[in-house]
Amino acid sequence: MSKDSIGVGLMGLGVVAGKVAKVLMDKSRNLEDKVGCPLILRKIKVLPEDLSRPQAKQMDSELFTTDDEEFFHEPGIDIVVEAIGGVSPALEYHKRAISGGKHVVTSNKELIAKHGFELLTLARRNKVGLQYEASVGGGIPIIAPFKHDLVANNIKGIFAIINGTTNYVLTRMAKEGMDFTTALKRAQELGYAIKLLAIAKQDDDAIEVRVHPVFIPEDSLLAEVDGVYNAILVEGDLVGKVLFYGEGAGAIPTSSSLLADIISASSAVFHSSQRPLGLKLRNDSVLKPMSEIMTRYYLRMTTTDRYGVLSQISKVLGDHRISISSVLQKETNIVAKTAEIVIMTHPAKEKAIQAALSEIRELDIVKQVNNFIRIEA
Amino acid sequence: MSKDSIGVGLMGLGVVAGKVAKVLMDKSRNLEDKVGCPLILRKIKVLPEDLSRPQAKQMDSELFTTDDEEFFHEPGIDIVVEAIGGVSPALEYHKRAISGGKHVVTSNKELIAKHGFELLTLARRNKVGLQYEASVGGGIPIIAPFKHDLVANNIKGIFAIINGTTNYVLTRMAKEGMDFTTALKRAQELGYAIKLLAIAKQDDDAIEVRVHPVFIPEDSLLAEVDGVYNAILVEGDLVGKVLFYGEGAGAIPTSSSLLADIISASSAVFHSSQRPLGLKLRNDSVLKPMSEIMTRYYLRMTTTDRYGVLSQISKVLGDHRISISSVLQKETNIVAKTAEIVIMTHPAKEKAIQAALSEIRELDIVKQVNNFIRIEA
């Protein structure tokens, strides 16, 4: 039973839903390749105030409805994408969609946390999918690895660094009079960073679940997780420690997860067979020759101890349009009458640096090029 | 068309294959829950010398065969797990299994790198799965995230830190006279770490692929990846940067990936429907009360400037069987006549530390407990 197209109904038109709608339209050819048939956005359920948002202005006004009945009676919707958030009215929308035999994809954290078990049970009974990758960790892949890669493991613990929610820390500071600046300074003296961590641990008879600020050793990988990035560390009995890291919030990364689930649900609707979701097979890629790559370079060389050494070397680099980012000239070795020069370049073509190196090696003042190493930022 | 059991045929009996066989037996109940029916290990194709390995001695000798014909004619094998490595004879084994309508799961890097396209095409034609998560990055989940989570993205670049392959660096040092110790020292002075990196970048008309040592900024997440750990950083147009980190080699993590693919293939055989691989729904977990958690603690307090302050505080901790890991006593504030004490404890129960804190707050010599923060190692 194969279909001509998959119909998508979108609930909500916030920044995440707006991005999903845009990608469904802009990447339609690409998505069709992945699913096997076109994905058609058939209806968007909005609130009256959504219609004045910039993302609404770029779309056909025929797509919009503010009426629940119109949305749920729209023919040809196979997948409902709920991106309105909160429990009410989202819970009723989920139940109505699932009971109507539609697959549901959601980014709704609160709903999945509070009613996930009930909704997954209902979805199984109705033989439809309920997918919620986008509700956990924004753009960070975590639900799919749990369903697939980690499935043979007994999970011993999950540790999630939550940077977004500094609100929590601020509240605690206000409530409990904690002076975090001083505390952090002292902790750093002892080799720790502070982080807000969500922790789940499984032992033989109970699960331990908590969220609070903690100090972690500064040389741990989690201590490096900063800014908009979040990380989830999972410990399994076979796999040991695995860490997933990415943007834990934000409209575009979250839309990436929603779209992954939409494609997966679409593929399930399109293919009656169990064919795993296709990595498109292709064998026609063109490989870039090494000489064409652009990167930064690190050069270390031993030179004679004479005036003008640096100017000669930098002239060769300049001739090949390679610009210097930093230079370290080490003190002269008085006995050997040699000096050491370390140069970091700005991005340059491999071809240019190779040509420059040949010339540098020929210079009378250069005894040896000791190192030539590429730099990735 | 539902089956009573899924038959697994294993090729090879190295450390990875040995671990897979062991888990198939030790976790049989658990795996049955996940797939929906038992997984039965029906035959193991070995070389004569494999029979003297320790992992062979723990298994029923009836399972073993050294004969290809016997292995491929064994009835009831649905899934062939190839863990012998190398191209020959593995390529012929793959073709024979796939053409015979069997699903194939492999950890064979070289075979997938050299013949993956051909084998995937053959598998599609025969409507069976070829799964190879274990052939890439050991225990690190990467193929499943590509198939699912990243599927809506145009992939701009992949950067993989390879720690295992120091062999490559050593070869380069020997061949090209590179002096890495000195180079590394100079790079560190400029704020860089050295790493061996595999890089793939896609631009409009070509793919750039290379493997070589590079310097990367010391404050980058990749710079922290050390020891047995590898990391794969993927950059997509929607998701931004996501990083997958774990043990990139080793028998047990690699067996975790092989087993994930075996469970997924088994589930595909068992269920004719498209039901996504089950996260088992359960609602019966027991939550551990906060008072029962064990962790280390950071305490910072302001005390009066008197003799015996530290001994009074450490007595209270000792009374509650909390042992001290480190103490930092800051210089006295002469004007305010106060001192500052920072204590890190060894792991202790939350209940004990809360009781100790109540008593510490009552001590005359303690003016204020400024911070109380949990530590996760």
Residue contact A206–B146, C-beta within 8 A: no
- Adjacent-strand bridge partners of B213: B196
The residue type at A312: Q
Task: Look at residue A58 in the predicted model and tell me its pLDDT.
Answer: 86
- pLDDT tens for B236-292 read 999 999 999 998 878 899 999 999 999 999 988 887 433 444 445 566 767 778 888
Task: Look at residue B183 in the predicted model and tell me its pLDDT.
Answer: 62
Contact predicate B99/B210, CB 8 Å: no
SS3 B313: helix
Whichever domain contains A105, its CATH number is 3.40.50.720
DSSP 8-state assignment for residue A66: -
DSSP 8-state assignment for residue A320: T
* Boundary (domain end) residue, out of A182, A214, A247: A247
Chain B positions touching A376 (Cβ under 8 A) are: 159, 197, 199, 214-216
Query: Is B200's Cβ below 8 Å from some Cβ in A?
Result: no
Omega before residue B89 within 30° of 0, cis: yes
Task: Look at residue A183 in the predicted model and tell me its pLDDT.
Answer: 61
Angle at B376 between CA B372 and CA B377, to 5 degrees: 135
Q: Are residues A125 and A12 in the same domain?
A: yes
Residue contact A141–B151, C-beta within 8 A: no
Strands A130-131 and A103-106: parallel
Alpha-carbon Rg for chain B, nearest whole angstrom, is 28
Residue B279 located in a structural domain: no
Query: Is B374's Cβ below 8 Å from some Cβ in A?
Result: yes
Task: Look at residue A112 in the predicted model and tell me its pLDDT.
Answer: 94
Smallest CA–CA distance from B277 into chain A, residue: A147
- State how far the Cα of B87 lies from the Cα of B63, in Å rounded to an integer: 25
Backbone angles phi, psi at A323, to 5 degrees: -100, 145
Nearest neighbour of A253 by CB, restricted to B192, B219, B240: B240
Task: Look at residue B175 in the predicted model and tell me its pLDDT.
Answer: 52
Whichever domain contains A354, its CATH number is 3.30.70.260
Q: Are residues A17 and A101 in the same domain?
A: yes
Q: Are residues B26 and B100 in the same domain?
A: yes
Whichever domain contains B174, its CATH number is 3.30.360.10
Query: Is B44's Cβ below 8 Å from some Cβ in A?
Result: no
Q: Are residues B38 and B95 in the same domain?
A: yes
Residue A282 located in a structural domain: no
Query: Is A34's Cβ below 8 Å from some Cβ in B?
Result: yes
Helix (H) or strand (E) run with residue A231 in it:
strand A229-236
Task: Look at residue B58 in the predicted model and tell me its pLDDT.
Answer: 86
Burial class (CB in 10 A: 0-12, 13-18, 19+), B362: exposed
Angle at B106 between CA B104 and CA B112, to 5 degrees: 105
Q: Are residues B88 and B167 in the same domain?
A: no
Directed axis angle between helix A28-35 and helix A15-26, to 10°?
80
Cα distances (Å, whole numbers) of residue A185 to A193, B73, B307: 9, 69, 26
Q: Are residues A169 and A317 in the same domain?
A: no
* Boundary (domain end) residue, out of B247, B280, B315: B247
Q: Are residues A34 and A119 in the same domain?
A: yes
Q: Find how far residue A120's CA is from the centre of its chain.
A: 26
- pLDDT tens for B138-167 read 889 999 899 889 999 999 999 988 755 454
Q: How many CB atoms lie within 10 A of CB A295?
A: 19
Nearest C-alpha of chain B: how many angstroms from A86?
22
Q: Are residues B153 and B192 in the same domain?
A: yes
Task: Look at residue B41 in the predicted model and tell me its pLDDT.
Answer: 97
Q: Are residues A55 and A77 in the same domain?
A: yes
- State how far the Cα of A259 lies from the Cα of A262, in Å rounded to an integer: 5
- If one counts the domains in chain A, the total is 3
Helix (H) or strand (E) run with residue A266 in it:
helix A251-270
Residue A278 located in a structural domain: no
Q: Find how far residue A66's CA is from the centre of its chain.
A: 33
Q: Are residues A354 and A368 in the same domain?
A: yes
- Adjacent-strand bridge partners of A342: A300, A328
* Mutant choice from A256, A296, A354 vs B, greatest count of B C-beta within 10 A: A256
SS3 A23: helix
Nearest neighbour of B121 by CB, restricted to A23, A242, A281: A281
- State how far the Cα of A222 lies from the Cα of B224, in Å rounded to an integer: 10
Contact predicate A172/A213, CB 8 Å: yes
Beta strands in chain B (DSSP E): 6-11, 39-45, 64-65, 79-82, 103-106, 130-131, 155-161, 192-202, 207-217, 229-236, 240-247, 294-304, 324-333, 338-345, 348-349, 366-375
- pLDDT tens for B309-360 read 889 999 999 999 999 988 888 767 778 888 888 888 999 999 999 999 999 9
Q: Find how far residue B54's CA is from the centre of its chain.
A: 25
Q: Are residues A210 and A259 in the same domain?
A: no
Q: How many CB atoms lie within 10 A of CB B365?
A: 17
* Mutant choice from B371, B374, B375 vs A, greatest count of A C-beta within 10 A: B371
Within 13 Å, how many C-alpha atoms sit on residue B214's CB side?
A: 22
SS3 B331: strand
Chain A positions touching B262 (Cβ under 8 A) are: 152
SS3 B8: strand
Contact predicate A209/A199, CB 8 Å: yes
Residue A283 located in a structural domain: no
Average pLDDT over residues B297-306: 87
Residue contact A153–B182, C-beta within 8 A: no
Residue A280 located in a structural domain: no
Helix (H) or strand (E) run with residue B308 in it:
none
Task: Look at residue A344 in the predicted model and tell me its pLDDT.
Answer: 86
Residue B303 predicted with pLDDT over 50: yes
Q: What is the DSSP string of B160-205?
A: EE--S-HHHHHHHHHHH---HHHHHHHHHHTTEEEEEEEEEEE-SS
Residue B131 predicted with pLDDT over 90: yes
Average pLDDT over residues B181-198: 68
Task: Look at residue A273 in the predicted model and tell me its pLDDT.
Answer: 36
Task: Look at residue B94 in the predicted model and tell me its pLDDT.
Answer: 98
Nearest neighbour of A300 by CB, restricted to B152, B186, B244: B186
B191 Rama sector, left if φ>0, alpha if ψ -120 to 50, beta otherwise: left
* Contacting A residues, span 268-307, partner chain B, CB-CB under 8 Å: 268, 271-277, 279, 281, 283, 285-288, 290, 292-293, 295, 298, 300
The mean predicted confidence, pLDDT, of chain B is 85
Nearest C-alpha of chain A: how many angstroms from B34?
8
Query: Is B244's Cβ below 8 Å from some Cβ in A?
Result: yes
Residue A1 located in a structural domain: no
Q: What count of CB pairs under 8 Å joins A to B? A: 332
Residue contact A214–B242, C-beta within 8 A: no
Query: Is A129's Cβ below 8 Å from some Cβ in B?
Result: yes
Contact predicate A375/A321, CB 8 Å: no
* Boundary (domain end) residue, out of B247, B278, B299: B247
- State how far the Cα of B79 lies from the Cα of B73, in Å rounded to an integer: 13
Residue B35 located in a structural domain: yes
Residue stretches of chain A with pLDDT short of 50: 1, 165, 167-168, 170, 177, 272-279
- State how far the Cα of A258 lies from the Cα of A81, in Å rounded to an integer: 8
Chain B positions touching A260 (Cβ under 8 A) are: 148-152
Nearest C-alpha of chain B: how many angstroms from A210?
8
Residue B164 located in a structural domain: yes
Query: Is A335's Cβ below 8 Å from some Cβ in B?
Result: no
Smallest CA–CA distance from B215 into chain A, residue: A375
Q: Are residues A366 and A317 in the same domain?
A: yes
Chain B positions touching A159 (Cβ under 8 A) are: 376
Residue contact A145–B144, C-beta within 8 A: yes
Range of the domain at A311: 290-375
Angle at B293 between CA B317 and CA B225, to 5 degrees: 100
Highest-scoring range by mean pLDDT, A153-162, B64-73, B123-132: B64-73
Chain A positions touching B121 (Cβ under 8 A) are: 281
